[in-house]
């Protein structure tokens, strides 16, 4: 069990003797349900000893609580993340590869949300989930590129509505195995692979997809250039399902370079899958049309150059 803050209270001399869970709720300003959770987790002690939720908490007893870490990102202003744009409504950041978008559990550090709330503390108050720190969407940990956060509740609601309505333009650069000579569209729903929960699976059978709750997903791609047995693609996704580009390209036999999870081949100098969120365009809360771009990171550009030399 981890804890971030220990507090102690004394049961007032004139207080009635009550069950421990009721006393903890009253003394520490939490719900009785939360008090019972803390007691079950071993976070509560009466005069230095653990006690069950139904134990009496007598006047004068010293009750200590190890409060769990807050369910929101801890500010880390020194984490490396480039701010592409910031105004009164929103922030566009360039997330490096290897950095998760936001914590998946209380106390987790090193994410884009930690970095952003460290620079823009008001993000902690935005959005339905405290741990997301105002983020409007997410990128896979090993996908680099543009990430959008809202600074106000109204901006968050407007931007989320655009993502849900599929009106946000999300452009990626992807290096796929094999030679692709024409653009195309992959419109296949995705579901968690029953054989490997880390992966997503494209479902080409409509009945199977419906039975297993697959989510609609559309991936459009255009070849930019072919090098050394690989094809650099411009990819657009109106939908936003987990691992969408990775799973769709693998389904058609062209997995991403470096994407071991989906069968992508290794490349010298490549330590992650070759996918970069390069372009983002949407209706800005101020009424304008906003668009932002991010160039290929140096490590991906270097991999491309090496391919060119070998071709």
Of 21, 140, 142, 259, the active-site residue reads 140
Long-range Cβ pairs for the range 287-295 (8 Å, 24+): 291/169, 292/84, 292/85, 292/92, 292/146, 293/146, 294/84, 294/94, 294/144, 294/145, 294/146
CA torsion sign, 262 to 266 to 267 to 270? Answer: positive
Query: Rounded to the nearest 5°, which phi and psi values hold at 38?
Result: -65, -40
Task: Answer yes or no: 71 catalytic.
Answer: no
The stretches in the chain having pLDDT less than 70 are 1-4, 69-70, 309-311
Q: What local confidence, expressed as pLDDT, does residue 229 receive?
A: 93
pLDDT in the model for residue 265 = 95
Pairing assessment for the beta strands 169-177 and 230-236 based on DSSP bridges? antiparallel
Strand 144-150 with 275-283, pairing: parallel
pTM: predicted TM-score of the whole model, two decimal places: 0.78
Q: CA-based Rg of the chain, rounded to a whole angstrom?
A: 25
**pLDDT tens-digit readout, 82-128:** 999 999 999 999 999 999 999 887 778 999 999 999 999 999 989 88
């Amino acid at each position: 069990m981890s804890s971030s803050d220990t507090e102690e209270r004394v049961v007032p001399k004139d207080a009635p003797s009550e069950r421990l869970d009721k006393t903890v709720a009253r003394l520490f300003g939490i719900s009785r349900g939360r008090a019972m959770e803390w007691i079950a987790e071993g976070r509560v002690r009466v005069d230095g000893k653990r006690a069950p939720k139904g134990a009496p908490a007598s006047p004068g007893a010293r009750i200590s609580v190890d409060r769990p870490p807050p369910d929101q990102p801890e500010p880390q202003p020194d984490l490396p993340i480039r701010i592409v744009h910031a105004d009164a409504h929103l922030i566009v950041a360039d997330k490096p590869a290897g950095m998760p978008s936001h914590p998946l559990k209380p106390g987790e550090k090193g994410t884009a949300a930690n970095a952003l709330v460290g620079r823009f503390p008001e993000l902690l108050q935005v959005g339905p989930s405290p741990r997301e720190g105002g983020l409007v969407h997410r990128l896979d940990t090993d996908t680099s590129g543009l990430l959008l956060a809202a600074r106000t509740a109204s901006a968050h609601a407007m931007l989320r509505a655009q993502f849900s309505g599929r009106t946000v333009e999300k452009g990626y650069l992807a290096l796929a195995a094999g030679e692709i000579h024409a653009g195309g569209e992959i419109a296949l729903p995705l579901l968690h692979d029953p054989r490997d929960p880390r992966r997503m699976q494209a479902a080409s059978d409509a009945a199977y997809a419906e039975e297993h709750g697959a989510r609609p997903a559309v991936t459009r791609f255009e070849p930019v250039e072919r090098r050394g047995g690989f094809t650099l693609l411009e990819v657009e996704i109106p939908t936003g399902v987990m691992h969408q580009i990775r799973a769709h390209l693998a389904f058609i036999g062209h997995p991403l370079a470096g994407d071991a999870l989906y069968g992508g081949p290794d490349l010298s100098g490549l330590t992650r899958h070759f996918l970069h969120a390069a372009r983002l365009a949407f209706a800005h809360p101020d009424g304008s049309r906003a668009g932002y771009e991010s160039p290929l990171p140096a490590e991906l550009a270097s991999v491309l150059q090496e391919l060119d030399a070998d071709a």
